[in-house]
Structure 1
């Protein structure tokens, strides 16, 4: 096992690294751990909603713009520590049924053997103790998120097998793999708070967790990490993704007294662990390492 346990977060687009894991990335960097973000696509088919941004002017170079934005976001998250970054090299897959979803250069259309091999190389070179990616639904059904889940889980398995992708380096078995999660109870609580204040919620108006179509059932949550000290850093890093965050965005307008409740913890489902895990919900991705 590595002498310095590291965290590898595998995400679909620039900005996803902040939304789903900004707190744990900042926390790991602040603890002096090795941290790396692997972004699977260039995000070139994302919406352009930044204040004052012209669609016709920005669209042809959106991939370049988003590369600059993620560089800025990670520089904020890393603080005095360090966060490495790499693009996997695929185009944004757009949404299901749209023309961009059929582009042979996009991640959704990628050859699975090739894509897994690329991630295996990253895993074997970085040798993380913890890998984090999405659940099988990709959180909300985006094809790039779903593909990131598929490719990451297969790559984590293959990376530990000597006979698989021998050209990608020496085998490395990642001790712990986690899937990002957003507890249904937190969505319900957030919705109720927004309703009470007369504010719109991005999650609809459901206040019964059993009726909420997205999110993770609470009884499946294995890990809940306190990232309260890094709330402001996470929010500042999210703001660095200028093209993706509209002035009236929910993320830009969470009331100050709701920040801790909404951003103070990040939750995960532990897919596997080859080290001992505590009884009940653990509070650290690196527990047992």
Structure 2
């Protein structure tokens, strides 16, 4: 990334595809506007579900080749979004997807897998926090972003790697700003204090509207079990907690292309595409955020920032 780029965005995600689902349209818009976009992915998603039958042999308990395959999927997705600076935390393979299980209450928890089922000592959820944060401190001090985007403290829906990504990003941002921390010839670069940090979010009102339109159109299987007027999953954010809404509807096609690139994880007839088909560009082209650090800039009539760099 060019150091002369005036605005620089850094995103920290757990697995390939998380970035596109959450902020794909924002990323594409900012790239098109000439802003710097850097993606850090913490694992290769080795434990992900495989939705392509002919690739099932890549599973962790068989050939264990899914991570390398998803590395290629991520590269293709980033090409669709125009993002040229994407990295793996500590280098590819340093941290492994921890896997997950579902709690009876509908959120993810650690899977506690033995080695012969894909569990490994370098599972990201077990990573030493300072060691992992230091890898990110070096990137922060190199890129010097004005905005950092990651997950909330629950990781959206509880996945242990999402929670760990939140912890690592939060700790690394704090360490990177300390004037005396790991500086000098053998250090991690010159200190940098990130002015604004956001957590990705999903608008409750927008989610209910989308579900209602899908159900009225006869789609009862996408986002199965979600009632437009009932309780919603943990990753849905009450509108009063939202801080920003980035309108990138002109880049929905790029986001859909990037989603399709993650073919082992997302199908083109799945809920993401169904929502887009039923609701239109607003379904995935307006992406929401909660501010976790910094001062909000000017807001619109909806009470939200329209730009993550507002006020900088």
Query: Does TM-score exceed 0.5, indicating one fold?
Result: yes
Q: CA deviation at 1:247?
A: 4.9
User: 2:121 matched to which residue of 1?
Assistant: 104
5 Å-filtered alignment, 1:1-12, equals: 4-12=6-14
Higher alpha-carbon deviation: 187-196 or 137-146: 187-196
Matched, 1:269 2:271: no
Q: CA deviation at 1:33?
A: 1.0
| 1:222-271 deviation per Cα after TM superposition (whole angstroms, max 9, x unaligned) | 00010100000000011011111235421243453512231120000011
- Please, what TM-score do these two structures have when normalized by structure 2? 0.85
User: 1:87 matched to which residue of 2?
Assistant: 88
Q: CA deviation at 1:12?
A: 0.5
Q: CA deviation at 1:26?
A: 0.3
User: 1:213 matched to which residue of 2?
Assistant: 233
User: 2:104 matched to which residue of 1?
Assistant: none
Unaligned runs of 5+ in 2: 101-109
- C-alpha separation between the residues in 2 aligned to 1:55 and 1:257? 31
Against the structure 1 CA distance between its residues 160 and 6, is the aligned structure 2 distance closer, same or farther, given a 3 Å change threshold?
A: same
Matched, 1:153 2:170: yes
Q: Is the 8 A contact 2:213 2:278 kept in 1?
A: no
Against the structure 1 CA distance between its residues 198 and 257, is the aligned structure 2 distance closer, same or farther, given a 3 Å change threshold?
A: closer
Q: Is the 8 A contact 2:147 2:195 kept in 1?
A: yes
User: 2:135 matched to which residue of 1?
Assistant: 118
5 Å-filtered alignment, 1:2-151, equals: 4-50=6-52, 52-57=53-58, 59-78=63-82, 82-88=83-89, 89-95=94-100, 96-99=110-113, 103-151=120-168
Against the structure 1 CA distance between its residues 57 and 13, is the aligned structure 2 distance closer, same or farther, given a 3 Å change threshold?
A: closer
Higher alpha-carbon deviation: 104-113 or 258-267: 258-267
- C-alpha separation between the residues in 2 aligned to 1:255 and 1:181? 17
Q: Is the 8 A contact 2:226 2:232 kept in 1?
A: no
Q: Is the 8 A contact 1:245 1:252 kept in 2?
A: no
- Please, what TM-score do these two structures have when normalized by structure 1? 0.91
5 Å-filtered alignment, 1:241-256, equals: 241-254=262-275, 256=277
The SS at the match of 2:64 is: helix
User: 2:200 matched to which residue of 1?
Assistant: 180
Unaligned runs of 5+ in 1: none
Q: Is the 8 A contact 2:98 2:161 kept in 1?
A: yes
- Which protein has the bigger helix share? 1
Root mean square deviation, CA, Å = 2.0
User: 1:233 matched to which residue of 2?
Assistant: 254
| 1:2-24 deviation per Cα after TM superposition (whole angstroms, max 9, x unaligned) | 76110111111011110001011
Matched, 1:170 2:190: yes
1:259 pairs, out of 280, 287, 290, with: 280
